Structure 1
Amino acid sequence: MIPAAFEYLCPAGVEEAVRMLALGGAKAQVLAGGQSLLPMMRLRQATPALVVDLGRVPQLCGVREEARSLHIGAMTTHHDVLHSALVRRHAPLLAAATETVGDPAVRHRGTLGGALAHADPASDLPAVVLALDGELMAEGPRGLRAIPAAEFFVGRLRTALEPGELLVGIRVPKLGAGWGFHYEKFRHSAQASAVVSVAVAVRREASGIAEARIALANMGTTPLRAPAAEAALVGADATVAFVARAAEAAADGTSPASGPGITREYRTHLARVLTRRGVLAAAGLGADGTSPVHERSFRIR
């Protein structure tokens, strides 16, 4: 199909982009990588009166290191996130999940900020930023503000961004020694959205788990943490049986949707299974208690 008529503006800086968004009001849409917005416009699921293209705003690109965190520009492509030495060193969970996004063509065009602002509950990266306790930096008519990831996603395709605000960057804490990470994703085909995915970060101390962070995608209208499973994992020896029992609580408090061939019970089962796998891998435990080899498992030493 052909998109509805719209006005197109291409700012050269953030301040100019904010002014342009104000012109369009509620009918303005930001174009980042275009991997979500353009298909929706072709199907007329989105009919913005004004499209503000951020493709020529260089200060929104790149990864820089801060004292305790990484700052990633909203227009940084998935390809550049995946191949950033800083991301792979300090936020390997983000790199692992980004590797599963689309295909190389999508990763060269799609952006981290675009994926987060789109707020699809089946998307990979919102759950990862939630698991990492990230912050999203928004700039608008009233200036710059930081929004915790736990407050940013407010519904399906809805965020806490106010009218006229622009997502300009993402800040993720640098996690130190002892942390392990893993990303588990189940989908029916390489190009399909995740039926369920799980982002896991755990910190080991001696033989036990001192801290656990688990975030689920596609188990509700927003990405969700799994607080019952996180709490159940802390403070005891990290054995395979113990992790399996804790993972049974992963879906507590969730409200997964049903669809053709995919029931709520199916998603609930997947959440528990993927959480168990993710925690075992992040903690350095195989199904038999040995250290597994998995392409999306990482440890910081």
Structure 2
Amino acid sequence: MLGLLLLQVLASCLWLGYSEVVNSFDSCPQFFYAGIPPNDALNPNNPAWICQHFSNSFRYATLYDRDRRIPVYSAYKYEPGFGNSPHLWWFVEPQLINPAYSKDMATETYIEKTYHITLQQIGQSQAITRDYQNLQGLDGGQLCPIDHQSGDNSKTATFTLTNIVPQNSILLKGAWKEYEKKTMAQNTQGCTTTYVITGAVPGDTYISNNRVNVPSHIWSAACCLGDEKPTKAWGAIAKNNMNEVTVSSLGELEEELSKLYLGKRVTLFDDACPRE
């Protein structure tokens, strides 16, 4: 009996070994300054740590909330550049369905045909395309935005449903777009490398028959390196029902998030990133 139990444990370990969706970002620490992700204060009850993989490379990292079917945050390096606009379809994450499946993001149709499963089975672990159809006043907002990536493959990799949340349409196309395009370009002047973590605070409402949570706030934090050391950092936050973004220090953003997460102390970056 004991031998059978040991074999079951060993089999489970080997099965999990095929996956990039595990319990840490050990496979893709390069998207966090000093390889240190945010602390556990943001972790949901049923998390998935995703090293977003496309075309033979990791593109960014996402902490995903399986229950609410939205990302908690996506972490990446700010590297805006040229690249073709991607296709019109969205990817989903095979590993959230089964850890033995491919670590490359894929379309729903490809997964259905390859693994002989239904769309309903795909949707048990994550949002699917139809969750974001026919929305009123909301659009799918990317946490790792296409405009902050360079090259066809990195831009295409942002079009996965594990990287988007239901975001207020006016905010997404207005003040938040202004922050992503203009404020980030201004603030990163002189930075050799800029690490970014963009996230969403869970809200009280849902779309698609209570399948996908609508965040109460959208936020973003950045740590700028001059040569090899951090020289400055900042944060931004917006209520998801208003067209207004508040830009602040990193420390102020962490304090605000700590309140929104019911007093849990939130730390987004390594201590070397300035808080004031």
The TM-score, its normalising length taken from structure 1, stands at 0.29
Higher relative contact order (CA 8 A, sep 6+): 2
